[in-house]
Structure 1
């Protein structure tokens, strides 16, 4: 059973267990709001610098020079302010078109890649900040036409405004490039695979397993434990992630061990069992509910199966009669093959989280090896049985996994191989074509 950290006495180093950072990345409002607040502060700072640094120097300059520069600067900033609002509309329109194309071509579940993109958020936020900054700078300009009156010269404000425009243009070029990349299926598949691998690393599933050796014991859901069962008191929805640190603190305070009942990604409704309390005194159900993040869709934060789900969805959508793109399905199978190869030596079934004293406080169920293999191959096999490019790639993936998987864990792979042969036999009647469709090929048909 994989565990989150080393032996007793070592303080656990939870890298990504707190969901706050992930929730902020999922939110599109946070970065623009933060940069707009920064623009307000920057506008006040540059106005102060202009008044303090250049006011005395301005008094010694010719009046006509001051008035001419101030008028030109105000014209430039006013033009930037009005043009930037139109520019923001262009960026927003491109984003909407990209989201629509991604949802129709790949899967609605990959839209989260666009929402989480740091570059897209940075571009949109910088454009908004530039608009807010130039708007506030205009309010601070001195419109006096009295030559005898010393006025501040808005040199700093104008230079910063132009710098923000240059930055916005540079980010826009990168934004267009990133958007074009995200509209190409290989890059989307690669992003999903990379996030799945990071889930493995963040939760230390690749650390040496404690207990039975990989494949040496039965895997699956956490066995039932005796103890009070606490029920969900919040709204219904998909269990996106849990605040593991909070649950560990609750369990430590009550001297108990919490066994989480639903897996990450399960739908829970009010009254659904959430944890089984073993030992100690049961905490109030509300304290458990507040540590559960329930929403309308799944995230990759703590849900490795969601990575497989996205890859499988891309593959079966590509195999639909409306799309009929087996090459895309093969590209998805490539990455599924990669993820299963990483998981092959890893013992699945549950994760144990310890407190700072090394005591187990939270036990989380995770999908076992058999369930993961079924998720990876079942739907693709059913949709692609009549596509020799797909069946040849599936055969190559299964044969390769059979070579690297420990002997006790080969049964699900052997079953998938037999089911693949049966599905091809039903879809392809000709013996020669059937033999060709079952010949392993890492490229499908090249």
Structure 2
């Protein structure tokens, strides 16, 4: 149940309509509050006679409020049209999966909400205005505040145009997605050491749990499921993790000891969705950034500089993981392993980051050079030797692509020189010798 609640809260906080809806309700509530003040005569006579407040009659008030309402709803339609056009441009150039970054943008939501809220406020106040023949009621305070809201809408329109112009810039989009990657990586790191994983043989004769649902795992409450397994005296080896797709009848877990309602416990600890959510899914956030680079390398766009910018951000993200521990998915709340979840590893992250870019950059010496340089920077910051082997495997794949796809001998030699520098730094770190010569390119021995 907690997983479903978290899924619902996540959808609400990232929905496009929530903030505009709140601003519309706020506008209506503010109108009723100010009308109550006007009707109650709570304002002193000195304030009512001030030149800062509206002092006209009912006819003028209706004209003014009608102008505010008609203009704000018209501009709101224009804002919505501009947003849709920007979304179409972003979907075509940077990928439809990045649309969420535009729809959850608070600047876009606030701009639309400001116009809709002012429109709702003006309509609410307009219905209370009475001319001399109808009883003569002119809400001076509410009218004055409506004029202030109209001026605020003018400023909001200027802000929105500049904001949207910056948001459709590819470098801005890359930075926004990079922030998501950094946030996901920070949440991924664990303090201290992981528990030792148990022998898989413990589940060799275990009971299989299947799931009849379908969809991507968007939420997974590992701690709740681990405590439930410990209370039931069993141990669960999950076969899926956050971001995996579950098909009807698919095996999702193996239990050492069969327990009644195990499928119900797993169902309560997970929440599925039609799309793969990026919140809490480090690999998915990386895929969104990689998609920008892959589209930039397509023949229709042919923008290698964007791909190189993405590689810089990916390298910076890996540098933040240097020397830090990633979770291995082992949970033992009662001192005994009760849950083991397949988890994100350094190798899987690197594969998601670099495989597709390298494959689509085949024959592009500039992008391959940047890829090798990024891997070299990550290598120089990473003290873990096992991670050096992961980075070295990607370098070997780049070397194979160079021999296969780059026919220009000078370009190929340039990439080989960068690969040679990677090997020099790796050997220097393995021998625990000073890196200064390797970093400056003075040591030519691999």
What is the number of residues matched between the two proteins? 411
Q: 1:188 to 1:226 in 2, by over 3 A?
A: farther
Q: 1:84 to 1:396 in 2, by over 3 A?
A: same
Residue segments in structure 2 that go unaligned for 5+ positions in a row = 422-446
CA shift at 1:40, angstroms? 2.6
The answer for the alignment partner of 2:312 in structure 1 is 334
CA shift at 1:319, angstroms? 1.0
Q: TM-score, normalised by structure 1?
A: 0.81
The answer for the alignment partner of 2:401 in structure 1 is 423
Is residue 2:262 matched to residue 1:304? no
CA shift at 1:94, angstroms? 0.7
Q: Over residues 254-282 of structure 1, what are the superposed CA-to-partner deviations in whole Å (9 max), with x where a residue is unaligned?
A: 56665443122211122223344566944
**SS where residue 272 of structure 2 aligns?**
strand
Q: 1:276 to 1:343 in 2, by over 3 A?
A: farther
Aligned match of 1:96 in 77, 84, 88?
84
Q: Over residues 76-96 of structure 1, what are the superposed CA-to-partner deviations in whole Å (9 max), with x where a residue is unaligned?
A: 111111111111111101110
> What are the within-5 Å matches in structure 2 for residues 349-388 of structure 1?
350-351=328-329, 363-388=340-365
Is residue 2:277 matched to residue 1:317? no
Bigger helix fraction: 2
Q: Over residues 306-345 of structure 1, what are the superposed CA-to-partner deviations in whole Å (9 max), with x where a residue is unaligned?
A: 1221122111111111111111110010011111222343
Residue segments in structure 1 that go unaligned for 5+ positions in a row = 1-13
The answer for the alignment partner of 1:209 in structure 2 is 193
Q: Is 2:195–2:330's contact at 8 Å kept on the other side of the alignment?
A: no
> What are the within-5 Å matches in structure 2 for residues 220-239 of structure 1?
227-234=206-213, 236-239=214-217
Q: Is 1:55–1:153's contact at 8 Å kept on the other side of the alignment?
A: no
Tell me: higher relative CO, structure 1 or 2? Use CA pairs within 8 A at least 6 residues apart. Answer: 1
Is residue 2:214 matched to residue 1:240? no
CA shift at 1:250, angstroms? 5.3
Q: TM-score, normalised by structure 2?
A: 0.81
Equivalent-residue separation in structure 1 for 2:356 and 2:228 (angstroms)? 40
The CA RMSD over aligned residues, in Å, is 3.5
The answer for the alignment partner of 2:24 in structure 1 is 36
Q: Is 1:35–1:125's contact at 8 Å kept on the other side of the alignment?
A: yes
Q: 1:359 to 1:21 in 2, by over 3 A?
A: farther
> What are the within-5 Å matches in structure 2 for residues 34-433 of structure 1?
34-53=22-41, 68-145=56-133, 151-203=136-188, 205-211=189-195, 227-234=206-213, 236-243=214-221, 247=225, 258-277=236-255, 281-283=259-261, 285-348=263-326, 350-351=328-329, 363-405=340-382, 406-433=384-411
Equivalent-residue separation in structure 1 for 2:162 and 2:63 (angstroms)? 32
Q: 1:394 to 1:69 in 2, by over 3 A?
A: same
Equivalent-residue separation in structure 2 for 1:74 and 1:381 (angstroms)? 64
